[in-house]
């Protein structure tokens, strides 16, 4: 399965940002629904068993409640992606083009939207959740329940303070991906260009 699709499906967990006192699932669910918009930068490290050094990619992201996610890759190549209720789209010279909606991708897209909308019941259907730490330093561990997700992920770890700092995806095959979120800002309004990208 496309690594990018797998990564996008988890990025919605950025809505866990600002978990000041959310150490119970009900509080977590309420907090998931709060941030309207999160802007930030990311560094993604893809660790492959066959390679001695991780593959690095960098860019910016915009996560907007009830709209979706813009994932703007800058290096090693420039490519814009968008995930919404309609699926995952990639921008080309003709605008946004929906990518084929394969079953695993569709399942992860559904999961993404459940998290984005603060649907903890949907999240609990797919994962065992374990939250630990305090407001300044917390960790959320997700262990897949569903057969489909177990085929892809062994475990997902999310660490943060006021905002999410790292997301680690441990894959069943032995590879892993680490997303380091930087300069994240909550509730800064969408720009005109960003609103246009979500509206197209």
pTM: predicted TM-score of the whole model, two decimal places:
0.77
Question: Mean pLDDT in each 10-residue stretch from start to end of the chain (200 residues)?
Answer: 57 46 57 78 92 93 86 93 84 90 58 56 77 75 86 85 79 90 87 92
Residues in the chain: 200
Return the domain boundaries, the chain.
Answer: 3-199
Q: What is the pLDDT of residue 125?
A: 76
For the CA atoms of the chain, what is the radius of gyration? 16
Q: What is the pLDDT of residue 148?
A: 81
Under a CB-based contact definition with an 8 Å cutoff, are residues 142 and 155 in contact? yes
Q: Which class is 3-199 in CATH?
A: mainly beta
Sign of CA dihedral 22, 28, 33, 35: positive
Q: Rounded CA gap, 13 and 113, in Å?
A: 10
Closest residue by Cα to residue 55 from 40, 44, 66, 70: 44
């Amino acid at each position: 399965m496309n690594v990018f699709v797998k990564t996008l499906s988890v990025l919605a967990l950025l809505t866990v940002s600002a978990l000041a006192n959310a150490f119970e699932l009900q509080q977590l669910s309420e907090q998931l629904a709060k941030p309207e918009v999160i802007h930030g930068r990311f560094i993604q490290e893809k660790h492959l068993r066959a390679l001695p050094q991780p593959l690095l990619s960098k860019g910016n992201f915009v996560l907007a409640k009830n709209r979706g996610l813009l994932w703007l890759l800058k290096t090693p190549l420039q490519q814009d992606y968008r995930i919404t209720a309609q699926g995952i789209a990639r921008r080309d010279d003709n605008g946004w083009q929906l990518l084929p909606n394969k079953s695993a991708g569709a399942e992860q897209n559904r999961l993404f939207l459940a998290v984005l909308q603060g649907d903890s019941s949907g999240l609990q259907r797919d994962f065992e959740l374990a939250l630990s730490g305090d407001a300044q330093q917390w960790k959320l561990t997700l262990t897949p329940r569903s057969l489909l997700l177990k085929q892809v992920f062994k475990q997902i770890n999310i660490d943060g303070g006021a905002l999410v700092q790292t997301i680690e995806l441990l894959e069943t095959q032995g590879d892993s991906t680490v997303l380091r979120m930087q300069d994240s800002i909550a509730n800064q309004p969408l720009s005109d260009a960003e609103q246009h990208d979500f509206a197209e």
